[in-house]
Amino acid sequence: MSQDMSEENLPERHGSEGHEVEPHADPFADPGLPPHEVRRTDIDERAARRAERQVALLFTVSMIATIAFIASYVAFDIDKIVFIWPFGHVSILNFALGITLGVALFCIGAGAVHWARTLMSDVEVADERHPIEASDEVRAKVIADFKQGADESAFGRRKLLRTTLIGSMALVPLSGVVLLRDLGPLPEKKLEHTGWDKATPASPIKLVSMNTDEPLKAEDIQVGSLVFAKPQGLAESAENFQEAIATDAVMLVRIAPQDIKDRASGKLGFDGILAYSKICTHVGCPISLYEQQTHHVLCPCHQSTFDLSDGARVIFGPAGHPLPQLAIKTDTDGNLIATGDFNAPVGPSYWERA
């Protein structure tokens, strides 16, 4: 449609008799409040009384529900299970407590809303805006009071007081700065090491099964099986167990040697037995959703997927590093042992990580 309008399409500027039409009044004039409309309850006393009874009924139901709550707490046995459609088999106590408390609270709210809508005044009240600034007298008085206070304190005259006050105020925040020291000390090399770090070729640490608490032997681990291990000496009753297992946890799998694609990782293992960290390198979730046919391990948190047959390479997901591997061997009794720490820092990446 064209924006150009021919003259005859414009509204007539002149009356039929030739003199000027009254110009429109201010098009943005305040229309004012719409006229107040009454409710039935405002004009019909019977309707008002009915509304009052409804509100009172809701409040009464709430009271009854509260009493029913107390009664069901006393009456029902916590172990009693009943069938209630559509919830299935539920504890009658849980069900009764939930329903009665819900009804009690709902009826208070519903009654209050009904009261406000039907019986409380709904006349519109306009509160005109007013300037924010204070009046001239108030401002003059505040300024005068301030000047008087400044004179009486002699802040401007006694320069020694002023300087030392400013100095003390400037130093106080230093206490806060000093306390920041408590955020440290820096972890230094702590993030690079786990409990396996104490293992050396001279004093190796045995891999102990999380299930049986017994040292694992190489022949215990079959192709396709999965077992979790911890360093020997780490007892579940130990005070730091949770902290230690969060870095020391190991999952052991056995892959047929011809299926191991990454030679280097195969060499760190023993006859196809590979020991990998159980901690995801993305944000440190425990990760052990192992698929024995594909040799993939899936992290349940963000779906990072690692291929244990290929050096735990990341094949999907947000993880940035392969899972750290623990080099294992056997001692003379056939027990699996570690002679050092994981081959990379365990867990998520951090700034100083090499």
Partner 1 sequence: MKKLSARRRHPLAALVVLLFALAATGGLYAAFAPAEKAQADSSSQSLAIEQGKKLFAVGCSSCHGLNGQGTSDGPSLVGVGSAAVDFQVGTGRMPAQQPGAQVPAKRNIYPQDQIDQLAAYVASLGPGPVTPTKDQYTSSDPNDVAAGGELFRTNCSQCHNFAGKGGALTNGKYAPALDSTSPRHIYEAMQTGPQNMPSFPDSVMPEKQKRQIVAYVRHTAEAPSPGGMDLGSLGPVTEGLFGWIFGLGVLIAVAIWVAAHTTKAKKS
Query: In the complex with partner 1, which residue's Cβ is closer, 149 or 224?
Result: 224
Q: What minimum distance in Å lies between the beta carbon of 38 and partner 1? A: 5
Q: What minimum distance in Å lies between the beta carbon of 95 and partner 1? A: 7
Alpha-carbon span 335 to 273, nearest angstrom = 12
Q: What kind and span of H or E run contains 50?
A: helix 45-75
Residue 81 CA: distances (Å) to CA of 70, 76, 86, 89, 90:
19, 10, 14, 6, 5
Q: Which spans of this chain sit near partner 1 (rule: CB under 8 A)?
A: 37-44, 81, 84, 86-91, 94-95, 113, 117-118, 122, 209-212, 216-217, 219-222, 224-228, 253, 286-294, 296, 298, 300, 303, 305, 316
Query: In the complex with partner 1, which residue's Cβ is closer, 113 or 140?
Result: 113
Query: In the complex with partner 1, which residue's Cβ is closer, 155 or 316?
Result: 316
And the tokens for 48?
A: 């008002």
- Tell me, what amino acid is at 269? G
Q: What minimum distance in Å lies between the beta carbon of 175 and partner 1? A: 41
Half-sphere exposure of 298 (CA within 13 A, CB side): 6
Query: In the complex with partner 1, which residue's Cβ is closer, 220 or 262?
Result: 220
Q: What minimum distance in Å lies between the beta carbon of 110 and partner 1? A: 9
Q: What minimum distance in Å lies between the beta carbon of 88 and partner 1? A: 6
Query: In the complex with partner 1, which residue's Cβ is closer, 253 or 268?
Result: 253
Query: In the complex with partner 1, which residue's Cβ is closer, 104 or 341?
Result: 104
Q: What minimum distance in Å lies between the beta carbon of 209 and partner 1? A: 6
Q: Is 312 exposed, middle or buried (0-12, 13-18, 19+ CB in 10 A)?
A: buried
- Are the C-beta atoms of 256 and 316 separated by less than 8 Å? no
Alpha-carbon span 199 to 203, nearest angstrom = 6
Residue 354 CA: distances (Å) to CA of 46, 68, 197, 349:
83, 65, 17, 9
